[in-house]
Amino acid sequence: MGYNHNEAYAKSFAEFFAGIGLMRLGLEKAGWKISFANDIDPSKESIYRNHFNDSENHFHLGDIHQLKGSQIPNVSLATASFPCTDLSLAGRREGLAGSQSSAFWGFVNVLEDMGERRPPIVLLENVEGFLTSHNGRDFKEALLALNELGYSVDAFIIDATRFVPQSRVRLFVVGHQNAKKLERVSEKQLSFYQSDIRPKKLADFILKHPEINWSIRNLPSLPNNNSRLIDIIEEIPEISKDWWNEERVEYLLNQTFDRHRVLIEAAKYGSEYTYFTAFRRVREGRSMAEIRSDGIAGCLRTPKGGSARQILLRVGKGKIDIRLLSPRECARLMGADEYVISGNINQALFGFGDAVCVPVVTWIGENYLNPLLAEIYNITAKQDLTHEYQTSAISI
């Protein structure tokens, strides 16, 4: 490998599809340091630069397909939160051949072009639909591409509700340089990795694809999160124009399903406020408001023209008040309350809706990447695979 012992142990990373930098925030909380960032969107770059005062040193604006390996510094980790549009239910499900999600191959090409300097660890993040896109063919193809570059792979799924009051299910892949083909685990060992982060559909995929070079690690249980929507609410003055007028409120209520309307009316006369969220969806040819009443926000989206912005209902004390979630509330739902928000409202909401949840990334950094990097450093230093390392992961 083309990195020396000191470089391998340094927690340096290159962030591809950097967006507004929430992957960076999460990794920094786990002790990592940014060396390179890339994104194609000028508005995201602007927001990124406004928050991070060191961006002149490492942020590269441009198409990943135009990047050369020589432009990437020596790092221990490369991350890629590549576009999910063609992999999600909201998109056309064109998969990795789609106009946006095909950017994954730009990432692969950069790694390949780095040659012996390619980082020992990679981290991918995308929607859960990546697992099933084109009946799993896209996921298989992506993992085999990483195998071809010398990475054995692991995969797991995390819902951000374990950290913040937002339902945001994401699929993560970790690849690490491992030239040795590891033996496949038997189905009797399924219990080792079928868990809250590797549900049955993912465990089944792993078992059914022995041609992929897997290296599955045991991980601790995810934390329990007790925070709820009420904990991230921004105090918006009653006189603010952000609150909808009576006509607009009534229009939304008339769009709700009867079972949801009953919940809202019941909460209206409570002595304390109850908070709900809503998205407009087309059901049977008409626009309907789907209400969420469990104290958890729906998954933040990337609004275009405001059509996909999440709606907040504050109900109680004889009133029903409605407005859109604010950019600050979205930042809090992503675990980034300290973020310096800039740009217009839609640009800010697009940045947060297209990002990773900060505490999820920190958990991955602390519980997966940091121990793995320490082991890789030991392996490199000793120039062999020790028994201690071989038994630290479940290999397939």
Domain boundaries, the chain: 5-224+356-395, 235-325
Read off φ and ψ for residue 250, nearest 5 degrees. -65, -35
Would you state the structure tokens that stand for residue 365, as one six-digit string? 């950094």
Among candidate residues 219, 265, 188, 179, the one with its CA nearest the CA of residue 370: 219
Residues 99 and 106: their CA atoms lie apart, in Å, by: 12
pLDDT of residue 181: 59
| 5-224+356-395 CATH, one of 3.40.50.300, 3.40.50.150, 2.60.120.650, 3.30.1370.60 | 3.40.50.150
The 10 Å Cβ neighbour count of residue 153 is 23
Contacts of 313 (CB under 8 A, 6+ apart): 264, 275, 276, 277, 278, 291, 320, 321, 322
Going by the DSSP 8-state scheme, the letter that residue 74 receives in this structure is P
Tens digit of each residue's pLDDT (9 = 90 or more) over 71-86: 999 999 999 998 755 4
State the residue for tokens 């709900």.
276
The residue ranges of the chain whose pLDDT is under 50 are 1-5, 7-8, 86-101, 305-306, 383-396
